[in-house]
């Protein structure tokens, strides 16, 4: 049997980060290593050949970068995905405090969960992604500080990514569905 199918690589959503202020740079993480990117293959399990461009540890200054993540299987089939990383020293305070102020309760969840927003920034939108980067659901809150519980009872058990957008900040959280 000949394997001609490339691995499926799952990128995190595009994101903005702060590098810590003037004359500082942002060290790019290993997205596979920290678990925000993943890959799977129809034959090779587990995949062991992963690359990232720019490479993990690269220092980035302000700008918009295309991050390319690649996985190769035992038959030399290559799959990849891309996402945008915006490095901006003016973003940090809102994004960090916003992300730290958002909690999912309960997590893991059976049917519904609530977003506890201690950041006091109004939430505009919540988007649920699967690990393939597909949008599964979108909730428009139009600046609400407190929201009704979010029903995820129709989702299969597994790990999901929530992208939470406020007017001047965003956060990415993981949701575990039982």
3 part of a folded domain: no
* For range 15-32, the mean pLDDT: 74
* Residues 15, 48 share a domain: yes
* Residues 172, 101 share a domain: yes
* Residues 98, 78 share a domain: no
Look up the CATH number of the domain holding residue 125. Answer: 2.60.40.3080
CA distance 55 to 70: 11
Look up the CATH number of the domain holding residue 27. Answer: 2.60.40
* Residues 98, 27 share a domain: no
For residue range 47-62, list pLDDT tens digits in order: 889 999 999 999 888 7
142 part of a folded domain: yes
Q: Can you give the pTM of this predicted structure? A: 0.52
2 part of a folded domain: no
Residue 148 has what pLDDT? 79
* Residues 66, 34 share a domain: yes
pLDDT above 90 coverage of the chain, percent: 44
* For range 146-163, the mean pLDDT: 89
φ, ψ at 87 (rounded to 5°): -105, 120
Among 52, 87, 122, which residue terminates a domain? 87
Q: Give yes or no for a contact between 98 and 119, defined as CB atoms under 8 angstroms apart.
A: yes
Among 61, 87, 113, which residue terminates a domain? 87
Q: Give yes or no for a contact between 104 and 113, defined as CB atoms under 8 angstroms apart.
A: yes
* Residues 171, 96 share a domain: yes
* Residues 115, 78 share a domain: no
For residue range 94-151, list pLDDT tens digits in order: 566 778 888 999 999 999 999 888 877 788 889 999 888 788 999 888 865 567 799 9
Pick from 123, 145, 156: which is nearest to 173 by CA?
123
Helix segments in 9-53, DSSP class H: none
DSSP state of 131: T
* Residues 99, 33 share a domain: no
Question: In the chain, how many domains are there?
Answer: 2
* Residues 167, 102 share a domain: yes
Pick from 176, 165, 151, 175: which is nearest to 117 by CA?
165
Host domain of residue 61: 8-87
CA distances from 63 to 17, 26, 73, 136 (A): 10, 11, 32, 30
CA distance 121 to 44: 45
């Amino acid at each position: 049997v000949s394997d001609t199918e490339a691995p499926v690589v799952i990128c995190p959503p595009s994101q903005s980060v702060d590098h810590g202020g003037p004359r500082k740079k942002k060290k790019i993480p290993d997205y596979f290593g920290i678990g925000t990117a993943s890959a799977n293959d129809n034959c090779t399990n587990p995949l062991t050949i992963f690359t990232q461009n720019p490479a993990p540890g690269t220092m980035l200054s302000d700008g918009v970068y295309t991050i390319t993540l690649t996985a190769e299987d035992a038959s030399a089939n290559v799959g990849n995905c891309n996402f945008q990383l915006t490095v901006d020293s003016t973003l940090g305070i809102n994004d960090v405090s916003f992300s730290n102020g958002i909690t999912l309760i309960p997590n893991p969840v059976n049917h519904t969960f609530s977003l506890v927003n201690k950041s006091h920034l109004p939430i505009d939108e919540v988007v649920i992604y699967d690990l393939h980067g597909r949008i599964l659901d979108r909730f428009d809150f139009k600046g609400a500080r407190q929201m009704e519980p979010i029903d995820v009872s129709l989702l299969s058990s597994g790990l999901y990514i929530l992208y939470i957008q406020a007017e001047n900040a965003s956060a990415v959280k993981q949701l575990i569905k039982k």
